[in-house]
Chains A and B, each alone.
Chain A
Amino acid sequence: GAVVSQHPSWVICKSGTSVKIECRSLDFQATTMFWYRQFPKQSLMLMATSNEGSKATYEQGVEKDKFLINHASLTLSTLTVTSAHPEDSSFYICSASPNIAGEETQYFGPGTRLLVL
């Protein structure tokens, strides 16, 4: 089955530093990947749609300069949390759908837990 990986699985950093999270589709190509964040015991909140070879589409209220997304290849999207602050501490999850006509299923990565001190 389709597998999506994320790296790192967890990270602790100091306030003011930047953190990069990778999302990879391991056995399929994905033109589009999605980034979500989840606070403890809350819902997934869609942050942005990552488009290979073009700019990401951000949801309302998500700062594009704060959360930089790069989708440089059909199997890799990165989310960089710039100048991270404690309120950015959260669980970040990506998902991807294979580039197959009619394939709508999203496959989720295992998530990255970010703690900003």
Chain B
Amino acid sequence: SQQGEEDPQALSIQEGENATMNCSYKTSINNLQWYRQNSGRGLVHLILIRSNEREKHSGRLRVTLDTSKKSSSLLITASRAADTASYFCATLMDSNYQLIWGAGTKLIIKP
């Protein structure tokens, strides 16, 4: 089930601009994960950030985590048309394998 919240639900920007997506959650977590889903394809893992980390980078991706606010953001810099996809956050609690999913943000990069 999807219990997290992501905003915006949809985002359309010009190629080259930065895209920021946010994710909020409700319980204490072990880590938070971001995934990308291209149309008709499986989820692809992007970044995992642990509860004791505040920021993480991977290429053009930057993820922040604020456990006091129970929120995370994913920043894609210098966006490209190929970044067009849906982006999901998921939180993992300490107790089990279960991932709690956000509803996702649909990102469209206009060439």
Contacts and interface: CB of A to CB of B under 8 A. Distances in A.
Interface of A: 32, 34, 36, 38, 40-46, 49, 91, 95, 97, 104, 106, 111, 113
A46 B39 contact: no
A44 B92 CA distance: 11
Given A38-B97, A91-B97, A111-B97, A44 B45 contact: yes
B39 A34 contact: no
Nearest to B92: A41
17 contacts: A34-B43, A38-B97, A41-B31, A41-B92, A43-B33, A44-B43, A44-B99, A46-B43, A46-B45, A49-B41, A95-B42, A95-B43, A97-B40, A104-B40, A106-B37, A106-B43, A113-B97
Interface residues of B, number: 18
- Main SS of chain B's interface residues? strand
Interface centre among A32, A36, A106 (most CB of B within 10 A): A106
Contact of A43 (B37, B42, B45): B45
Interface string B17-60: 00000000000001101010101111111001000000000000
Interface string B73-97: 0000000000000100010100001
Given A43-B33, A43-B48, A44-B35, A49 B97 contact: no
B39 to A, nearest CB: 7
A34 B86 CA distance: 16
B66 to A, nearest CB: 20
